[in-house]
Amino acid sequence: MAAAGASWASSKPPVVIDNGTGYTKMGYSGNSEPSYIVPTAIATKDGVRAGDHRAKRTEMEDLDFFIGDEAVARSSTHAVNYPIRHGLIENWDSMERLWQRCMFDYLRCEPEEHGVVLTEPPLNPPENREYAAEVMFETFNVPTLYIGVQAVLALIASWTAKPDAEHSLTGTVVDSGDGVTHVIPVAEGYVIGSCIKHIPLAGHDITKFVQQQLRERGEPVPPEMSMDVARRIKEDHCYVCKDVAREFARFDANPGKHFSKFEGRHPRTRKPWTADVGYESFLGPELFFNPEIYSSQHTKPLPQVVDDAIIACPIDTRRALYNNVVLSGGSTLFSKFSKRLQGDVQSIVDQRIEANQASLAARGHAVREVKLPVNVVSHPFQRYAVWFGGSMLAAMPGFERSCHTKAQYEEEGPRIARHNAVFSATM
Ligand SMILES: Nc1ncnc2c1ncn2[C@@H]1O[C@H](COP(=O)(O)OP(=O)(O)OP(=O)(O)O)[C@@H](O)[C@H]1O
């Protein structure tokens, strides 16, 4: 929706906040990195949970609370709450408090002087957008608000991978963060909602898997540190291998060469300990490609899910969707992730083409060579691609015309946020 006659209410750069299930990225538009990445967590005084009802808000207002790493660190004295589940805001009171700290304490901005860009997951209910608008315009008094679709922002961020190429808003976004992995086809800036696929495996599951492997091997990691150590091992040591059977054989042939060490200190006694890091370094990310090693419920490999999503899309979009598979989110950062994904999706596509051609030939039809290239795009901003896409978008000339304004909100109410601005209006 273009804001007719809207003027850019402030010359100050818009604030961009991408709230993920695990981590919130926040900063100012035009920057290449968020100013802060903190856990999307809030800690309130023990026994007093962050209210589930807005009615409770006033009596909670003065209570002390913490967000981010400070909240996580207070898990023994406070009730820690994660207001976003599977990408969707579930606890609006907590979310409002989290935004309050983001703006006033982290970004140190006066929200009434900055436009705000928020992001939304695929299939976000319109009521959630209305609610976000209500909080932003009424509680924070922001002059303008834009709610960007995460997959579209991830596509914009991927332009940095090919600065000279034509900027495309058609592609398949593979977004894997902490809580969920989505495969989202986007055609000319519009998410093809009916073709989105998701798998219930993401970074948190890989961390749990690594933790389980360390535990089963009896590594001397203090139990209270085990989740954090598993996460650090995952982030620093894990990689995607080409062939899991061959990788096992390589390790077994020379364990001394392939096992590495992780050293730490006991949090209370300060006694040093050392753990071996072994098979989990390639088995962790293997969950994406062979999920049955972790879950008996979800067994479809990610490359197959990507292919299923694209095949479900209109035929005239498929070539472009295969040609621009874009990665987004922390759990796509494993070394060689893009290469394996590209190779595996390409194999699925090639096998299907071959089978089709064999069947045509068997029926006496002429067969011509068909090529359908799969291209997986990775880039340096993948970790916070959605945030970065929001930052780029909000710095584009004319962006303000796509924002909802305070004046519109006052005239029409929260329903102005039901529909997102047509993205191309800003380009
Ligand atoms: N270098 C890395 N290698 C592998 N995983 C990483 C790396 N850096 C961060 N991660 C993982 O990425 C995940 C966080 O990613 P991200 O911030 O994209 O998720 P989110 O936006 O909070 O979650 P969601 O997308 O599910 O809402 C965590 O599980 C984290 O451990």
The verdict on ipTM greater than 0.85 is: yes
Q: Residue 219: is its pLDDT beyond 60? A: yes
CA 149, 152, 154: angle at the middle one, nearest 5?
110
Q: Residue 272: is its pLDDT beyond 70? A: yes
Residue nearest to atom 3 of ligand 1 (CA): 235
Mean local confidence (pLDDT), 5-11: 48
Ligand 1 atom with the shortest distance to the CA of 181: 26
Question: Distance (Å, rounded) from C-alpha 173 to C-alpha 151?
Answer: 6
Residue nearest to atom 25 of ligand 1 (CA): 177
Encode pLDDT of 101-147 as tens digits: 999 999 999 999 999 999 999 889 999 999 999 999 999 999 999 99
Q: Yes or no: say if 119 and 175 are a contact pair by the CB < 8 Å rule.
A: no
Residue with tokens 């860009």: 117
Residue nearest to atom 29 of ligand 1 (CA): 203
- Mutating to test ligand 1, I would choose from 118, 208, 235 the residue with most ligand atoms within 8 A of its C-beta, which is 235
Return the structure tokens found at 2: 């273009």
Residues touching ligand 1 (Cβ under 6 Å) are 20-23, 87, 177-180, 202-204, 231, 234-235, 329-331, 333-334, 383
Encode pLDDT of 370-397 as tens digits: 899 999 999 999 999 999 999 999 999 8
Cα-Cα end-to-end distance for the chain: 14
Crossing angle (nearest 10°) for helices 302-311 and 315-323: 150
Model confidence at 63, in pLDDT bands (50, 70, 90)?
A: low
Encode pLDDT of 184-214 as tens digits: 999 999 999 999 999 989 999 999 999 999 9
**How far, in Å, from the CA of 278 to the mean position of ligand 1?**
22
- Mutating to test ligand 1, I would choose from 36, 89, 383 the residue with most ligand atoms within 8 A of its C-beta, which is 383
Q: Residue 403: is its pLDDT beyond 90? A: yes
**How far, in Å, from the CA of 362 to the mean position of ligand 1?**
48
**How far, in Å, from the CA of 329 to the mean position of ligand 1?**
6
**How far, in Å, from the CA of 3 to the mean position of ligand 1?**
35
Those residues whose C-beta lies under 8 Å from the C-beta of residue 377, and which sit 6 or more positions away, are: 158, 161, 162, 171, 324, 325, 326, 327, 338
Q: Yes or no: say if 17 and 118 are a contact pair by the CB < 8 Å rule.
A: yes
Encode pLDDT of 358-370 as tens digits: 999 999 988 888 8
The per-residue pLDDT for 342 is 98
**How far, in Å, from the CA of 303 to the mean position of ligand 1?**
19
Residue nearest to atom 11 of ligand 1 (CA): 330
Ligand 1 atom with the shortest distance to the CA of 179: 26
Q: In this structure, which CATH number among 3.30.300.160, 3.40.640.10, 3.90.640.10, 1.20.910.10 belongs to the domain 203-286?
A: 3.90.640.10
Q: Yes or no: say if 155 and 173 are a contact pair by the CB < 8 Å rule.
A: yes
Question: Distance (Å, rounded) from C-alpha 39 to C-alpha 21?
Answer: 8
User: Which CATH number applies to 15-150+384-426?
Assistant: 3.30.420.40
Reported as half-sphere exposure (CB side, CA atoms, 13 A), residue 161 has a value of 21
- Give the global pTM: 0.90
Q: Residue 56: is its pLDDT beyond 50? A: no
**How far, in Å, from the CA of 406 to the mean position of ligand 1?**
34
Provide the mean pLDDT of the chain.
89
**How far, in Å, from the CA of 378 to the mean position of ligand 1?**
15
Question: Distance (Å, rounded) from C-alpha 66 to C-alpha 43?
Answer: 5
Residue nearest to atom 2 of ligand 1 (CA): 235
Which CATH fold would you assign to the domain 157-200+299-377?
Nucleotidyltransferase; domain 5 (3.30.420)
Model confidence at 58, in pLDDT bands (50, 70, 90)?
A: very low
The per-residue pLDDT for 423 is 54
Q: Yes or no: say if 374 and 346 are a contact pair by the CB < 8 Å rule.
A: yes
Model confidence at 421, in pLDDT bands (50, 70, 90)?
A: low
- Domain extents in the chain: 15-150+384-426, 157-200+299-377, 203-286
Domains 15-150+384-426 and 157-200+299-377 share a fold: yes
Residue nearest to atom 21 of ligand 1 (CA): 20
**How far, in Å, from the CA of 84 to the mean position of ligand 1?**
14
Residue nearest to atom 9 of ligand 1 (CA): 330
Model confidence at 52, in pLDDT bands (50, 70, 90)?
A: very low
**How far, in Å, from the CA of 333 to the mean position of ligand 1?**
8
Q: Minimum mean pLDDT among 90-99, 166-175, 232-241, 418-427: which range? A: 418-427
Model confidence at 59, in pLDDT bands (50, 70, 90)?
A: very low
Residue with tokens 């989110």: 329
The per-residue pLDDT for 267 is 81
Reported as half-sphere exposure (CB side, CA atoms, 13 A), residue 163 has a value of 2
- Write a three-state SS string for the chain: CCCCCCCCCCCCCCEEEEECCCEEEEEECCCCCCCEEEECCEEEECCCCCCCCHHHHHHHCCCCEEEHHHHHHCCCCEEEECCEECCEECCHHHHHHHHHHHHHHHCCCCHHHCCEEEEECCCCCHHHHHHHHHHHHHHCCCCEEEEEEHHHHHHHHHHHHCCCCCCCCCEEEEEECCCCEEEEEEECCEECHHHCEEECCCHHHHHHHHHHHHHHCCCCCCHHHHHHHHHHHHHHHCECCCCHHHHHHHHHHCHHHHCEEEEEECCCCCCEEEEEECCHHHHHHHCCCCHHHCCCCCCCCHHHHHHHHHHCCCHHHHHHHHHCEEEECHHHCCECHHHHHHHHHHHHHHHHHHHHHHHHHHCCCCCCCCCCCCCEECCCCHHHHHHHHHHHHHCCCCHHHHCEEHHHHHHHCHHHHHCCCCHHHHC
Closest-CA residue to 393 (of 104, 18, 3): 18
**How far, in Å, from the CA of 97 to the mean position of ligand 1?**
23
**How far, in Å, from the CA of 383 to the mean position of ligand 1?**
7
Those residues whose C-beta lies under 8 Å from the C-beta of residue 307, and which sit 6 or more positions away, are: 345, 348, 349
